[in-house]
Every structure is written in C-alpha cells, then in structure tokens.
C-alpha cells in the first residue's frame, strides 16, 4: 500500500524533466541526468550520463533521459501463428 505523501520511484525526476523541458530543448539530442528535482548534467551519450549517475549515486535512483521535443513511441508486435487443433 502506497502512502499518499510518497511518490512512486522516479516520478519526481520525470516531473522535473517535464518542467525543465523548455530550457533543455537548447540541447536536443543530448542526455540529461536528473536526481530528485535537480538537473545534474547534460551529456553527449547515454553511456556517459549513466556512468556519471552511477558514480554520483551508486545504486540509488536517478534518471537519464534523452532531450527531445516529443517522446519517441516504439510499437512492437509479434507475428503469432497458431495451429488449429480439433
């Protein structure tokens, strides 16, 4: 049971990203490292941002997200073939 005063994991970081997105759009294509409500850095690669996050926060929670004007949506499907059995 979740307490009402506790946010689920990464909700604060996602809210921070969304709130700061207009400012972040000056760096489209880079990756941002966010901890709680702080932007901790912008990086050229996902790997660099992730490395910085692990160095700063060990196993703690942090968010690495690509800066883009809109979320890229991925759709995956499976081509399932079933045999008819009688």
Q: Give the domain range for residue 7.
A: 1-86
**42-65 as b/e: b if 16+ CB within 10 A:** ebeeeebbeebbeeeeeeeebbbb
At residue 17, the pLDDT reads 97
| Report field, pTM of the whole predicted structure over 0.95 | no
* pLDDT tens, residue order, the chain (86 aa): 455 566 688 999 999 999 999 999 999 999 999 999 999 999 999 999 999 999 999 888 999 999 999 988 877 777 666 666 66
At residue 28, the pLDDT reads 98
> CB–CB of 67/85 below 8 Å?
no
């Amino acid at each position: 049971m979740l307490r009402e005063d506790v946010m689920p994991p990464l909700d604060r970081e996602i809210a921070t990203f969304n709130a700061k997105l207009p400012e972040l759009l000056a760096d489209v294509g880079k990756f941002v490292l966010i901890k709680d409500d702080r932007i901790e850095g912008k990086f050229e690669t996902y790997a660099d941002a992730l490395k910085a996050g692990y160095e700063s926060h060990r196993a703690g929670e942090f968010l690495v997200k690509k800066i883009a004007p809109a979320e890229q949506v991925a759709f995956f499907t499976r081509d399932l073939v079933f045999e008819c059995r009688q």
